[in-house]
Structure 1
Amino acid sequence: MKLTKLALAVAATLVAGQAFAAPVTQANVVSARTAGTLQEVWLSGASAPTFNVFDSFARGCDANSVSIFTSNTAAGKPGGLGDFNAYACTRAGAVTVLYHTVSGGSFNAYAPHMPASLGTAPDGSAFPAVLQRVKNVGTATCSGSGVYTPTNNPSYLTGGATTIPVSFNCNRGTAAALADSAPALPQGGFSDVEAKLWGYDVSAYGTESATNVQQAFGIVVTTKLYRALQVAQGIYASTAAADSADASFSPTNAPNITSAQYAAIVQNGGGYQTDWAPILGAAGTGKNVNLVRRTGTSGTQASSNAFFLNNPCASGAPAGQTSPATVAQASDTFTVTEQSGTSGVRTALTTINSHATQNFGLGVVSLENLPAAAYKYVKIDGVHPEAGDTTTARATMVNGSYKFVMEMNTFVPASAQGTYAETLIGEIATGLGNPATCTDVGRGMALSPMGGSACEVGTFVAKGTKFGNNCAPMQLYY
């Protein structure tokens, strides 16, 4: 029997995929690089959807071929591994490495491709941004190894496999310092919001596109502040009573912070920065206000500015516009720290919560992040982002009752258009916004009705959209 060239090609691809039924190693990457078949892409930008970007990438990988490399000091789940990671696998038999840098946040999806003549980025840094990444997989020096164990039985683990290998303490640096063969410049990335929320038009430097994904953000407060708020709001008579009756921190019993209250804490010169008395009464007297915010290049910070401060969305200037507080506006009683990634916010809040006396703190993170022992989500204007849905944190954003929601974008610079990087970004975005399996929609995310997904409206697909303008309120679409 004669085989056609097409049949032979298909057979070769299948054999290649089977050859990497085990997770891709650095040696496999070296072999593919030598053979000229290696695909390498470097993405930068938003830290809020770190896990969901990884998950969408991995769902396009051949089963059981995924490996993770990180500069973090321990193994774990993407999204909790810090700002510099790489993911390797085979996709249709081809060895692929995705470098993922989320330090600095969403604006760094654009910044490396913008000219120095524009001046400075939102955090005061110069253009173009010089970013770091993990050293090219194949020559990276990683001093530790462990595993990540997914809990949702994803398609990239089948046939009895339960874990993904994680190499940690891998060396990282700028491309120039690393002097390796991996991409010298990020080739695009993801942003929580459009570049116009920082005041930039990036159309001359590449293509910005909607992902058709809506992402919820929330206020997290230290556990000790959470309990104090419950007592102050009459939910429980005492902290001890709350600990006894609400050990699971049910969203139903969560305390509330209004948009106006949060704005009074986080705006420059806000009125709630001496202590917590305006919110807690006498119990808050003498308690320092600890605000953990993101850097100016962060999409999470831009989302917070737009939602709570109407900045830069307010019409007219300067009337109606308020500026966010920065480290420079801190005082003896008002502590402001800035973090380059979401993981830094979580770490800072954990540290604050463990302080003997000054243990009240708060900040904003995406709902991709699970609550932890040291911090919990609160209601905003009476609505909790996890109400009725503590697993996927989607019910209230889909039905429109929870308002702190933004629509995510991708950016592909002109230099990467027509390359595999553009293809891979498109595949990841499609996996996020129009997934093959509806249950693949990540925690804290919903599908925009503009994306045409066949998933169920009101369960996975939101009933409203901002039509790509995150300064606009959600508008009913159906």
Structure 2
Amino acid sequence: MKQQLKLFAASLALAFAGQAYAVGPTVTPDLILYTGGGAEQNNVFETIAKSLFTPGTIDYYTDQADNSKGRSFRAVYGKLAAAAGSLPAGSNVLIVYRSLGGVFANGIGPLVRGQTLPYYRVIGNATLISAGGNPSYRITNTGLTDPKAPDIGLANQELALFTGLNLPSGVSPVTAAELGHVTSQPLYAVVNGIAVTNNLAEQRPNGFSKAEIAAILSGGIQDWSQLRNATDTGNLPAGPVVVIDRNFGSGAKAAANQYFLNNPGGAAFGGTVEPINISGDLGDPVNYGEYTVRTEPSAGNVPSVLDGVFAKGKRAIGILGLENIPTGANHWQFTSIDGASVGTTTFNKAQAISGRYDYFYQASVNTRKNAVNGQRYHQSGTAWGSVTTAFINKALDPAVITTVPGTILDPITFPETGNAALDAFRAKGTRFGNSTAPLQLVE
């Protein structure tokens, strides 16, 4: 009996010890930080946020009914590893991220203009999925929201690129005066990619030229038989082209528009090409029995849609960043562009580092430097301002961001440190903060 009591006491102690590591959605946080940006940076956001907390004290939240990681919403809740202003180490801090609709809709427009976003309510509104897992909790009722303007905006493009067709419909571009309200800190470079279904990759193992992808994205190629096969002995088998595109306002879409279509970079001399989905989607987005252009509001949707096209026996090409790596269960991979590659099912940074593969642009982290529409702004010395500063510092820490696939270091923002492991992530070229400029080698 005594032995049973000892075992019971030991198991109870372990249970309480385990519970001490998680904050849980019934505990009111000492501070909530609201962030916004694009879905291409979901993993980067999560990596930065969790680096602020003591390992083992972190809960992760999703809005996905299947309990998978959030495609358009994530939250990280933990205990601060170090003091931040008046908040001592061990304080409970909740950091939420909204990405549905792209960078501009979440990380730029609302931040610059002090507009609110419908963040899902976390406290008192979450169901346990897996203690200590990732995610740990699922939002119970997605109808419960807390309208807040983002405190921090993550962008996988320079802010100035969001003009013209890169803006969501009906949204005006950010003015110089509005940009004056924002402090923009350049970050790492985001490596972009073109994903193809495996059946298309088998027919084109050497990838596509930049001109071919431009023709596909602009609607000039609508049947795969318009392209030659890998051995150049004939055309690909006939069949409708399926394009899995992104919405305007997405950083990945803006990157593709600029890189392949010179839009808006060539606007001054009429050298731009319009993407095919400028007037909306086309074709058959269910069975893909005809030429189809399907626009997705989140990068998180693209992998499953590519798998769905493959399951129908069709061939597709899609816009997707290298943060998203296929698993063994997926039926798509990344393709090479003009013979340059950063991997098919893993991220291989070598040709991006050398500049041989130049489809990447510099990200930024943005905060308000004065009050806009009554929203709070980055004030040093306040608890909120100190946590914001800590978040930015982690975003600038190579040891943090290089753990996420699809990121490399810009040589201007991250000069050589003498740390060989981190210096290996430094690109030899930069666009000096201008996405419309060519990549310039500096080493």
- Shift of residue 147 of structure 1? 6.1
Aligned residue in 2 for 1:450? 412
Match of 1:24 in 2: 23
Match of 1:87 among 55, 61, 76: 76
* Aligned positions of 1:40-439 closer than 5 A: 40-76=32-68, 80-91=69-80, 92-108=89-105, 109-113=107-111, 131-135=117-121, 137-142=122-127, 145-146=129-130, 163-164=133-134, 166-173=136-143, 178=145, 184-199=148-163, 200-201=173-174, 203-205=176-178, 206-230=181-205, 255-267=206-218, 270-280=219-229, 281-285=234-238, 287-317=239-269, 319-326=270-277, 328=280, 330-331=282-283, 333-355=290-312, 357=313, 359-372=314-327, 373-386=330-343, 392-413=347-368, 414=370, 415=375, 416-418=377-379, 420=383, 422-435=385-398, 437=399
How much identity, in percent, do the aligned residues show? 23
Contact 1:349 1:374 (8 Å CA) reproduced: yes
Name the aligned partner's letter for residue 284 of structure 1: P
**Count of residue pairs the alignment pairs up:** 384
Instruction: Determine helix, strand or coil for the equivalent of 1:225.
Output: helix
Query: Quick one: which amino acid aligns to residue 432 of structure 1?
Result: A
For structure 1, the 5+ residue unaligned runs are 1-17, 33-37, 116-127, 149-162, 231-254
| Contact 1:398/1:446, CA 8 A, preserved across alignment | yes
Q: Distance in 1 between matches of 2:58 and 2:281?
A: 45
SS class of match (1:73): coil
Q: How far apart are the structure 1 equivalents of 2:184 and 2:60?
A: 27
TM-score by length of 1: 0.74
Change over 3 Å in CA distance of 1:69–1:329 after alignment to 2: closer
8 Å contact from structure 2 (residues 42, 71) kept in 1 = no
- C-alpha displacement at 1:331, in angstroms? 4.6
Superposed displacement of residue 345, structure 1: 1.0
Q: Which of the numbers 432, 436, 460 marks the counterpart of 2:425?
A: 460
**1-side partners of 2:348 and 2:174: how far apart?**
32
Task: For 1:306, give the aligned amino acid.
Answer: Q
Deviation at 1:184, TM superposition (A): 2.2
Q: Secondary structure, in 3 states, of the residue corresponding to 2:33?
A: strand
- Asked whether the 8 Å contact 1:110–1:202 carries over to 2, the reply is no
C-alpha distance after superposition, 1:25-79 (max 9, x if no partner): 123x32x4xxxxx110111112112112211211121121110111112334xxx
Amino acid at match of 2:73: F
Residue by residue, what CA displacement relative to the aligned partner does 1:356-397 show, whole Å, maximum 9, x if unpaired? x4x10111111111124211011111011128xx75432221
Instruction: Find the residue that maps to 2:202 and give its secondary structure.
Output: helix
Q: Which residue of 1 aligns with 2:166?
A: none
Aligned counterparts of 2:393 and 2:409: Cα–Cα separation in 1: 11
Match of 1:476 in 2: 441
Summarize deviations over 1:433-477 as a string: whole Å, max 9, x none.
333x37844211111122245243761111221111111122222
| 1:304 shift after superposition | 0.5
CA-based RMSD of the aligned residues comes to: 2.7
Displacement of 1:276 after TM fit? 3.9
CA distance in 1, matches of 2:209, 2:318: 14
Question: Cα distance 1:201–1:130, how it changes in 2: closer, same or farther (>3 A)?
Answer: closer
For the Cα contact (< 8 Å) 1:189–1:425, is it kept in 2? no
Cα distance in structure 1, aligned partners of 2:400 and 2:276? 39
